[in-house]
Amino acid sequence: MMNKKPSILFLFSDTGGGHRSAAEAIIEAIHLEFPDQFDTRMIDIFRQYAPLPLNYAPDIYPHLSRYPKMWKLGYEVSDGTRRIRAFYDVMWPYLRSAVHQLLKENPVDLIVSVHQLVNIPLLRSRFHTDKRFVTVVTDLVSTHSAWYHPGADLVIVPTIPAKEKALKSGLPNEKVIVIGQPVAEKYINQTLNKIDLRNRFGWGKDLLTVLLVGGGEGMGNLEKHAMAINNSNLPIQLIIVAGRNQQLKTKLENQNWNMPTKIYAFVKEMPEFMQASDVLITKAGPGTISEAFIAGLPLILYSKMPGQEDGNVGYVTNQGAGIWAPNPDLLVESLQNWIDHPEELKIVASRSAQLAKPNASRDIAKALIKQVQISINNRI
């Protein structure tokens, strides 16, 4: 009989695209670094195990994100070690059965959480004690207290400010390591140059190419900013990715554009789109920002989720890698300034590239495998 491979369980949820993509990037890295040595699986903790109505969280999230003031209030009210623990004390009788079922049905060597709402209830359960538990924090800078529980065997964070929050939340220094944001391999090994890629996509070769995205759901009032750029008559070509927002895509396609413009729905070639572009305009999501750093793209951030993405804006602007332009006039002004001062644009691009951590996914994978080995040794 063949020996069973050590197994790793990743817990995520589609409340925002970043959790799934982070888990997938780490799993990809594990199989690249340690081919055919480990079994990995992913579970959407809300869809597959949460009791009603929490199992609808992935469906509710896009609607909640349209009310930033309410989101900010909820984030700030709950962000505190005592407050979040008190909340889970109240919720525990409601969650206990689902947590125990999850752990009983998934006998693995290592549990990895990439979602902040998983950690406290999982680590509270007495069923986790024979398993190693690692948290991979997938918010970049402004991290909620729910990410941090001293019962975790290891907490991997993307930035120094995230580590500072972990220590402030009561974690010992030896349990927290800074590695970076996990990014899929396809963003890292780009070999074609801009001209070749633009030829492939049918884009103009010589114009400043501005890529405007709003995340997978096309959030962040993308239409308003797109129309401001259109009305500016800037000498650029505009590439718009509307994501899964088909209504937005249709509205944009029915506009009269004053510059060369291409409009796409959700695309799988985002790494190539970034590589072919000169500027990225985006909401302040941690994954997209990290991918932009790898592509060396200057950033214009036009939208953020209050609370969890506030620090991302400061991180980008303080490091000189981009600009915060929450209103359309400022966004157009920023683009005009870069067009008028191309040497400044090159400096910002260079600073963006300096923030890249292309090895993060593989380094996280190596750290996780060490935890698997500890788990196996503990049982011997």
pLDDT category at 1 given cuts 50, 70, 90 is: very low
Domain with CATH 3.40.50.2000 in the chain: 7-183+358-379, 186-354
The percent of residues in the chain predicted with pLDDT above 70, rounded, is: 96
Residue 2 has pLDDT above 60, yes or no: no
Q: What is the pLDDT of residues 288-306, one digit of tens each?
A: 999 999 999 999 999 998 9
Q: How many CB atoms lie within 10 A of CB 329?
A: 10
Q: How many CB atoms lie within 10 A of CB 77?
A: 10
For residue 85, what pLDDT is reported? 92
Residue 218 has pLDDT above 60, yes or no: no
Q: Is the peptide bond before 68 cis (omega within 30 degrees of 0)?
A: no
Question: In whole numbers, what is the pLDDT of the chain averaged over residues?
Answer: 93
Q: What is the pLDDT of residues 265-291, one digit of tens each?
A: 989 999 999 999 999 999 999 999 999
Residue 72 has pLDDT above 90, yes or no: no
For residue 3, what pLDDT is reported? 65
Looking at the domain 186-354, which fold is it?
A: Rossmann fold (3.40.50)
Q: What is the pLDDT of residues 116-133, one digit of tens each?
A: 999 999 998 866 667 899
Could you tell me whether strands 279-283 and 154-157 are parallel, antiparallel, or unpaired per DSSP bridges?
unpaired
Is 7-183+358-379 a domain of CATH 3.40.50.2000? yes
Q: Distances in Å between the alpha carbon of 309 and those of 18, 240, 247? A: 12, 22, 26
